[in-house]
């Protein structure tokens, strides 16, 4: 009888021990049962930054390298679930536990396949403050790669002199934030190692620049009154197609050893080659479009425009600008071939 009582007592102790362990486990993890409270704004009330990574190309499924880092301030610990809108057939999502309060960086993984080569805005958890990010999906193998950190190196042949007299034989171009919105088009910033910035955009089959009426990455005017928007490339038109830019006030001539004059300038563009191979720096590019640019100037008080210089720019699918041949005042020529590039 004694042994039976001892046996029952042992069972009771084990049951109490199991109950105690289970109760303690629940108390330790009670933080995971609630949802975290968070903010997507900084102390000044501005939306925190979002860092977009990866390649976004129409008709191409997103890979593991397509994601967005968002900066979150957790006010309480607990479960979190972040998701973006579904726009242009892609979305971003992540969930987990916030173990501590304070600032944190969350990686939202991208899913889907962009349907169109457009710029789309994505809100995070449909927040009322409009905090989120924008993504531009490029066309498959279009003529303006715009992925952040893509780079191109061009060479001056012959080398040129800077304003300080230093010899410059090459320069780099890099896609860098931020983008700008103008006339409903999102312009991507292309910064050069010569500390200049240029802005290009694509809409359907037309490629735009928001800037000055110079050659690509090469300044020719002494001064321009303001930036303007114009089409520099059309990819669905036949050879011989021509179009003009708007007019803009400029000063011209001083940079070329001439008397600087004020007046109006415009560019006249003509497609001279279409879908032909073009070799530069030992590489033969296919599906290249050649566009001649005539630089036209009308001095203040004159009635007609005159051509002051011209040149041809060649653009390749998936790479963009690959070569330029410019006829300068005084019979000089300048070639600016692409010698290296990395498309992210």
Res 32 pLDDT > 70? no
Taking residues 270-274, report their average pLDDT. 97
pLDDT interval class at 130 (50, 70, 90) = confident
| Higher pLDDT among residues 38 and 27, named by residue | 38
pLDDT interval class at 265 (50, 70, 90) = very high
Res 10 pLDDT > 60? no
pLDDT recorded at residue 344: 73
pLDDT recorded at residue 24: 34
pLDDT interval class at 29 (50, 70, 90) = very low
Domain boundaries, the chain: 38-136, 151-342
Instruction: Give yes or no for a contact between 197 and 179, defined as CB atoms under 8 angstroms apart.
Output: no
The dihedral built from the CA positions of residue 19, 21, 23 and 26, taken in this order, carries a sign that is negative
Q: What angle do CA 175, 83, 179 make, to 5 degrees?
A: 20
Taking residues 36-46, report their average pLDDT. 91
What pLDDT digit, counting tens, does each position of 166-220 carry? 888 999 999 998 899 899 898 999 999 999 999 999 988 999 999 999 999 988 9
> What is this structure's pTM?
0.63
pLDDT recorded at residue 8: 45
CATH entry 2.40.360 includes domain 151-342:
yes
> Which residues lie closer than 8 Å to 289 by C-beta, 6 or more apart?
143, 233, 235, 271, 273, 274, 275, 314, 315
Tell me which residue of 340, 341, 324 sits closest to 157, measured CA to CA.
324
pLDDT recorded at residue 163: 66
From CA 190, how far away is CA 211, in angstroms rounded?
Answer: 12
């Amino acid at each position: 009888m004694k042994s039976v009582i001892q046996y029952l007592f042992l069972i009771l102790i084990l049951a109490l021990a199991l109950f105690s362990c289970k109760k303690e486990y629940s108390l330790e993890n009670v933080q995971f049962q609630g949802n975290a409270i968070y903010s997507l704004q900084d102390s000044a009330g501005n939306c925190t930054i979002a860092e977009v990574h990866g390649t976004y190309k129409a008709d191409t499924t997103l890979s593991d390298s397509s994601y967005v880092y968002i900066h979150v301030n957790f006010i309480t610990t607990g479960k979190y679930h972040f998701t973006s809108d579904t726009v242009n057939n892609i979305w971003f999502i992540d969930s987990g536990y916030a173990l501590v309060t304070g600032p944190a960086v969350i990686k939202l993984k991208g899913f889907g396949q962009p349907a169109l080569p457009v710029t789309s805005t994505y809100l995070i958890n449909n927040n009322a403050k409009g905090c989120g990010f924008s993504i531009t999906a490029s066309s498959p193998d279009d003529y303006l790669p715009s992925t952040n950190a893509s780079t191109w190196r061009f060479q001056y042949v012959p080398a040129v002199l800077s304003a300080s007299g230093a010899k410059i034989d090459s320069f780099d171009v890099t896609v860098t934030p931020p983008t700008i919105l103008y006339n409903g088009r999102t312009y991507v910033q292309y910064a050069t190692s010569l500390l200049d910035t240029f802005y290009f955009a694509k809409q359907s089959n037309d490629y735009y620049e928001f800037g000055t009426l110079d050659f690509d990455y090469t300044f020719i005017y002494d001064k321009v009154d303001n930036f303007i928007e114009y089409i520099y490339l059309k990819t669905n038109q036949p050879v011989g197609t021509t179009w003009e830019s708007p007019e803009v006030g400029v000063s011209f001539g001083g940079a070329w050893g001439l008397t600087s004059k004020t007046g109006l300038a415009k560019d006249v563009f003509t497609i001279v080659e279409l879908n032909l191979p073009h070799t530069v720096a030992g590489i033969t590019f296919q599906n290249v479009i050649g566009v001649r640019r005539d630089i036209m100037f009308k001095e203040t008080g004159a009635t007609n425009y005159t051509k002051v210089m011209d040149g041809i720019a060649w653009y390749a699918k998936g790479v963009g600008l690959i070569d330029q041949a410019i006829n300068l005042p005084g019979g000089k020529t300048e070639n600016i071939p692409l010698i290296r590039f990395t498309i992210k």
